[in-house]
A and B are shown apart, each in its own frame.
Chain A
Amino acid sequence: MVKILTPLTKKSEIVPLIRAGADEFFCGFIPGEKLETSRAYLYLNRRASRAANFTSIGELKEAVSIAAARNIPIFVTFNEHNYSKAMYDQIIETLKELELSKPNGVIISDSGLLILIKKHFPGAAAAAGTGCPVFNRKSLMFYKNLGADRVTLSIALTTGEIESLADEAARIGIELVCFIKNENCINTNAQCTYLHGMFDDALNRTFCKIEKEYGVRDCGGKKQARAGKRLSSIHEDFSDGCGACFLPRFIEAGITKFKIDGRGRSASEKIKDLLFIKKAVLCAEGGRSADAVEKRIRFLYNKIYGNTCSKKCIYS
């Protein structure tokens, strides 16, 4: 059965999001009271902002128990690619407080942290996030050997590669998660080492979203002004972050977990995303022809978001 993994930022969002169709949640945590002592605590996950994270351990514990009462798992995200000792200590302290056990778990990118968590919290589910570079079948086995129960696939994979990985995942017994909405970075997460948020407020934006002026030269060293201009508008040419039309192929390949990104989005935006993806899943499972499914999903997109689908899909 297809399950939708949904971003969660506040306890108050749980019930409305479950009503809208959330099957699982993921969230981030930064210890609000410690931010006064160091900005390092902002970087426990890749959304370095109070607005995109739980900042009170008490509220997060309550959220976990409210969701558990409705049989909805929560995954807490610690997906920065590396940490200092103080940050590892903070993560361990947080997980001790939360006492997560399966089906609840954590999303991790740092291999050292994955090993550490499996050692200290073997009962919690461990998901390798997109910060883990998985571009071939052997890498899936690598993360399974490290203790991962599931792997979140990068949007930099082609649909053919995802199908091949789904085949391998079924063979070795590891779950896969595919992004389906709101993930649209051009750079490959696992190998992107830009700081996600800066200490200088003027620069406190994710690098990828900053407009840049490109210079392009050909082999002979001649400046190519038109090409430079073309790159400067690259974000307009890239994806809208939607991969809903690929649901039939992924479901057919055996993938059952789909992730809506966007912890920083408002509750109403999250509900809209859920409504859209839930309906798109129903349509994808309905046995219609591929063309009819795509047409229907585009219709749903236009209706729910009130704007026309640009056809700039995440996947190719």
Chain B
Amino acid sequence: MVIPARKNAFIHNDVENAATAEVLAAADSETFSRVYIGSEFCERLLPSPRKIEKLIGAARDSNIRFSLVTPVCSDEGIKKLEAILSRRSVNDEVIVNDWGAFLLCREMGFIPALGRLLTACCRDPRLTGGIPARDDLFRDYLKSSSLNSGEFLEFLAKENISRVEIDNTTQFYNFKPPSSLKVSLHFPYVYSSTTRRCLYAHVFPENKPRTLGVNPCGKECLEGTITFKMPGCGHTMLVRGNTQFYENRVLPENRTLKRFHIDRIVHHDVPLPRKIPGDGNANG
């Protein structure tokens, strides 16, 4: 099924449609039953505890469920997260993308869902051109993920983790989820790589000296957009914040979604960045 590029009035009736706060703000909220609040890739874009409470309140007022999404964290990010979690109920859904954040959640009584940064797989857009047809083992590898490991699945079961998140990669997957595991599919932007060396800080503002270290953040990623052509395939990569994405608007058929226990699709948008008046934080 190919989803049109513009807003979606769709889709699978038995699949929950979640959206990032950005998408939800720009869309007909009836399309979505859940909103993702937080940040997956950068702790510096994690909204303040106060703002998170405000967003959660707004979601509740609209009868929309929410998930708190948490990023890769330094010790500073872990502290920030602790402050946010201390205001939440352990029954709230928290999605972690960092093993330290995972431990913190467990210590505080939460049973988190595993974000897409913790479910490793190949997310290279160059695979769109196809996988060598006659090499079955290679195909198996390119479709494999952390979820192909029996030991990893046992670990998830032992920790009572019942939800994991994956990307809508072009080659898709070949794991067999246990009955206890539900899967969320991020759509249509597949994350390929991420960095702590901010490309935006390297070019914005123009008169600043070049720096490519892990620098103080001026939220330069809200100043513009970066794209690049992926050599060797037709994809235009989008750099949003510190992360590179490719777009795949082809959703698997219903039966494939069922086979992989995908009961939630998480919709993303990559709009032009905008500064929100009076608020230094992005709402992604």
Q: Write the residues of chain A forming the contact surface with B, with a CB cutoff of 8 angstroms.
A: 37-41, 43, 81-88, 109-113, 115-116, 119, 133-139, 141-143, 156-158, 161, 164, 186-188, 191-195, 198-200, 202-203, 207, 210-219, 221, 224, 226-227, 230-231, 234, 237-239, 316
Distance between A171 CB and nearest chain B CB, rounded to angstroms: 14
Number of residues from B at the complex interface, CB < 8 A? 77
A-B contact pairs, 16 of them (CB 8 A): A84-B140, A87-B141, A112-B155, A115-B151, A133-B117, A142-B100, A156-B214, A186-B195, A191-B193, A193-B124, A200-B232, A215-B227, A218-B204, A219-B223, A219-B224, A237-B210
Contact A227 B206 (CB under 8 A): yes
Contact B228 A157 (CB under 8 A): no
Residues of A within 8 A of B177 (CB): none
Contact B215 A138 (CB under 8 A): no
Query: Of A40, A141, A161, which one neighbours B138 at CB under 8 angstroms?
Result: A40
Q: Write the residues of chain B forming the contact surface with A, with a CB cutoff of 8 angstroms.
A: 72-75, 77-78, 98-104, 117, 120-124, 126-127, 129, 131-132, 135-138, 140-146, 148-155, 174, 191-197, 199, 202-204, 206, 210, 212-215, 222-232, 244, 272-275
What is the bound-complex CA distance between A210 and B124, given in angstroms?
14
Q: Given A195-B126, A219-B224, A316-B214, A81 and B73 touching (CB < 8 A)?
A: no
Contact A112 B152 (CB under 8 A): yes
Residues of B within 8 A of A192 (CB): 192-194
Contact A82 B120 (CB under 8 A): yes
What is the bound-complex CA distance between A115 and B151, given in angstroms?
6
Residues of B within 8 A of A86 (CB): 137, 140-141
Query: Of A85, A193, A227, which one neighbours B122 at CB under 8 angstroms?
Result: A193
What is the bound-complex CA distance between A87 and B123, given in angstroms?
19
What is the bound-complex CA distance between A204 and B226, given in angstroms?
25
Contact B126 A111 (CB under 8 A): no
Query: Of A38, A84, A135, A194, which one neighbours B74 at CB under 8 angstroms?
Result: A135
Report whether over half of chain B's contact residues are helix, strand or loop; otherwise say mixed: mixed
Residue of B nearest to A42 (CB): B138
Contact A83 B148 (CB under 8 A): yes
What is the bound-complex CA distance between A203 and B148, given in angstroms?
27
Contact B275 A219 (CB under 8 A): yes
15 more CB-based (< 8 A) A-B contacts, given A113-B149, A115-B152, A157-B214? A43-B141, A82-B122, A84-B174, A87-B141, A116-B149, A133-B98, A138-B99, A138-B104, A187-B195, A188-B194, A195-B127, A214-B227, A217-B225, A227-B204, A237-B212
Residue of A nearest to B225 (CB): A217
Q: Given A82-B148, A216-B224, A193 and B75 touching (CB < 8 A)?
A: no
Contact A135 B141 (CB under 8 A): no
Q: Given A82-B120, A143-B99, A191-B72, A38 and B137 touching (CB < 8 A)?
A: yes
Contact B72 A135 (CB under 8 A): yes
Contact B225 A111 (CB under 8 A): no
Residues of B within 8 A of A237 (CB): 202, 210, 212
Residue of B nearest to A112 (CB): B149
What is the bound-complex CA distance between A226 and B199, given in angstroms?
14
Residue of B nearest to A88 (CB): B149
Distance between B128 CB and nearest chain A CB, rounded to angstroms: 12
What is the bound-complex CA distance between A112 and B132, given in angstroms?
27
Contact A219 B100 (CB under 8 A): no
What is the bound-complex CA distance between A138 and B79, given in angstroms?
11
What is the bound-complex CA distance between A228 and B120, given in angstroms?
31
What is the bound-complex CA distance between A152 and B212, given in angstroms?
22
Residue of B nearest to A217 (CB): B225
Contact B199 A116 (CB under 8 A): no
Contact A316 B215 (CB under 8 A): yes
Contact B226 A111 (CB under 8 A): no
What is the bound-complex CA distance between A129 and B45, given in angstroms?
27
Residues of B within 8 A of A187 (CB): 193-195, 244
Residues of A within 8 A of B231 (CB): 203, 210-212
Residues of B within 8 A of A202 (CB): 232
What is the bound-complex CA distance between A138 and B77, given in angstroms?
11
Query: Of B104, B152, B272, which one neighbours A111 at CB under 8 angstroms?
Result: B152
Residues of B within 8 A of A143 (CB): 99
Contact A83 B141 (CB under 8 A): yes
Query: Of A136, A157, A191, A213, which one neighbours B117 at CB under 8 angstroms?
Result: A191
What is the bound-complex CA distance between A238 and B140, given in angstroms?
36
Contact A193 B121 (CB under 8 A): yes
Residue of A nearest to B117 (CB): A191
Contact B203 A230 (CB under 8 A): yes
Contact A142 B103 (CB under 8 A): yes
Residue of A nearest to B227 (CB): A215
Residues of A within 8 A of B136 (CB): 38
Contact B137 A40 (CB under 8 A): yes
Residues of B within 8 A of A81 (CB): 120-121, 146
